[in-house]
Amino acid sequence: MSTTPTPTPTPTVRTQSNTDRTANDLKLWEQTTTAIAANAADLPQAEIPRTGLEKLTDELRKLGVEQKLFMRQKQETSQRIAEIHSEGTKLVTLLRVLVKQHYGNRSEKLVELGVKPFRGRTKKAAAAVKPSTTTGTTPAVPVTPNPPATQ
């Protein structure tokens, strides 16, 4: 009798955002360095790594502040870019209208300025009239004479 091994369930991996991870790491690192510093007499060999961890903790904290500053600056820059696009579009529209008004909407001078001149619609070729393809006799339409004109 053979037994098939039951598959082991794969653990679900929870991913953290960078800010959550940074906050968790800073908290853990600070607790660790504080605890090691409090027991420095018992753990003299841990002094060098502890000071290294303190330096990394300070640097990570500073980088977190810089990152928030850059995110704020990025948002402000993005808002300013959107404002510039809006203002620029309005000014381009205004300038094109002024150019059309000055030169006329049919002037070829408009092409130099990036504006399409109005050239009218192209006339479509007259569709050829196809004769009726109905077969059979057409009913005769009785012709009524016009009444004589009275004066």
Write the CA distances from 85 to 54, 69, 71, 114, 124, integer angstroms: 46, 24, 21, 18, 39
Which residue's structure tokens are 């529209």?
Answer: 93
CA dist 98 and 90 (Å) reads 12
Confidence (pTM): 0.50
pLDDT at 116: 86
Could you tell me how many residues make up the chain? 151
CA dist 99 and 61 (Å) reads 57
Q: Helical H runs in the chain?
A: 18-38, 47-103, 109-112
Which residue's structure tokens are 């009218």?
Answer: 120
Residues in the chain with pLDDT < 70?
1-16, 125-145, 147-151
CA dist 86 and 91 (Å) reads 9
